[in-house]
């Protein structure tokens, strides 16, 4: 099971997340309290391992702007978290993750319209386009219902609920932002707890999860 920690804004947190075992870090270039500047992202990314997955998060952004940020920052995958059409998601040289809001089972069908390899399932609830810390009914996304895509599960995940979510949805990756924060800031202890839970480091028993 892969883990993405999203909304990274400082080097100390980025290094800690990598050391604890995160597989990907997310950098938000959209309107958000976690928005990062290109310069700050560059400073962090240059310290990270070359092949590590660094995901840029965008909401209804111009393709030229995304491509410029990719060139400048060594971001190596993009997450499109707005109303991007299938055409908007095509033609990038990096892998594309399309985020879809899951309000009901029929929303899963939107996955078929997109050619991209990764589909991110998030909650439609909340004030912002993402990073709201709200979850959706995981039952509507149970494993076999989303075909042909690597599924990334997001929305309101925490160290306390992530194992249940994984058991129900059986995703390829889990993605967390609010659930590893304290007073609106990333909290290294929560990041460690989240990663330890998912990697099964502190659990007994024989839980079956997709890896």
Ligand X SMILES: O=C(O)c1ccccc1N[C@@H]1O[C@H](COP(=O)(O)O)[C@@H](O)[C@H]1O
Would you say 42 or 190 has its CB closer to ligand X?
Answer: 190
Would you say 54 or 208 has its CB closer to ligand X?
Answer: 54
Let me know: does 59 contact 130? Beta carbons within 8 Å. Answer: yes
Q: Does 171 bind ligand X (CB under 6 A)?
A: no
Let me know: does 102 contact 135? Beta carbons within 8 Å. Answer: no
Least separation, in Å, of the C-beta of 59 and ligand X? Answer: 5
Among 9, 73, 170, 178, binds ligand X (CB under 6 A): 178
Give the whole-angstrom CA distance, residue 198 versus residue 83.
Answer: 30
Would you say 6 or 16 has its CB closer to ligand X?
Answer: 6
Give the whole-angstrom CA distance, residue 192 versus residue 83.
Answer: 33
Q: Does 132 bind ligand X (CB under 6 A)?
A: yes
Q: Does 44 bind ligand X (CB under 6 A)?
A: no
Instruction: Give, in order, the Cα–Cα distances in Å from 138 to each of 7, 59, 73, 142, 169.
Output: 23, 23, 34, 7, 6
Footprint of ligand X on residues 148-167 (CB under 6 A)? Answer: 154-157
Q: Does 28 bind ligand X (CB under 6 A)?
A: yes
CA dihedral 19, 138, 27, 125 (to 10 degrees): -140
| N-term to C-term CA, the chain | 4
Would you say 166 or 176 has its CB closer to ligand X?
Answer: 176
Q: Does 56 bind ligand X (CB under 6 A)?
A: no
Would you say 5 or 208 has its CB closer to ligand X?
Answer: 5
Give the whole-angstrom CA distance, residue 31 versus residue 46.
Answer: 24
Active-site annotation holds for 122: yes
Let me know: does 91 contact 70? Beta carbons within 8 Å. Answer: no
3-state secondary structure (DSSP) of residue 186: strand
| Residue 171 token pair | 């995703």
* Residue span binding ligand X (CB under 6 A) among the ranges 16-24, 65-73, 164-172, 174-182: 174-182
Per-residue binder mask for ligand X (CB under 6 A), 79-98, x = binder: --x-----------------
Binding site for ligand X (CB under 6 A): 6-7, 26, 28, 30, 32, 34, 57, 59, 81, 120, 122, 128-133, 154-157, 175-179
Q: Which residues are catalytic?
A: 6, 122
């Amino acid at each position: 099971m892969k883990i993405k920690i999203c909304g990274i804004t400082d080097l100390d947190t980025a290094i800690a997340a990598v050391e604890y075992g995160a597989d990907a870090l997310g950098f938000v270039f959209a309107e958000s309290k976690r928005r990062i500047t290109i310069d700050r992202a560059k400073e962090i990314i240059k310290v990270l391992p070359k092949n590590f997955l660094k995901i840029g998060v965008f909401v209804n952004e111009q393709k030229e702007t995304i491509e410029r940020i990719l060139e400048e920052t060594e971001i190596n995958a993009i997450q499109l978290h707005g109303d991007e059409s299938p055409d908007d998601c095509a033609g990038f040289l990096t892998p594309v993750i399309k985020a879809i809001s899951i309000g009901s089972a029929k929303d899963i069908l939107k996955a078929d319209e997109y050619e991209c390899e990764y589909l991110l399932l998030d909650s439609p609830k909340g004030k912002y386009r993402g990073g709201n810390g709200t979850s959706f009914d995981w039952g509507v996304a149970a494993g076999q219902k989303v075909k042909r895509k690597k599924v990334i599960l997001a929305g309101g995940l925490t160290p306390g609920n992530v194992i249940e979510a994984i058991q129900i949805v059986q995703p390829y990756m889990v993605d967390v932002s609010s659930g590893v924060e304290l007073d609106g800031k990333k909290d290294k202890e929560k990041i460690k707890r989240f990663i330890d839970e998912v990697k099964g480091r502190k659990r007994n028993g024989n839980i079956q999860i997709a890896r």
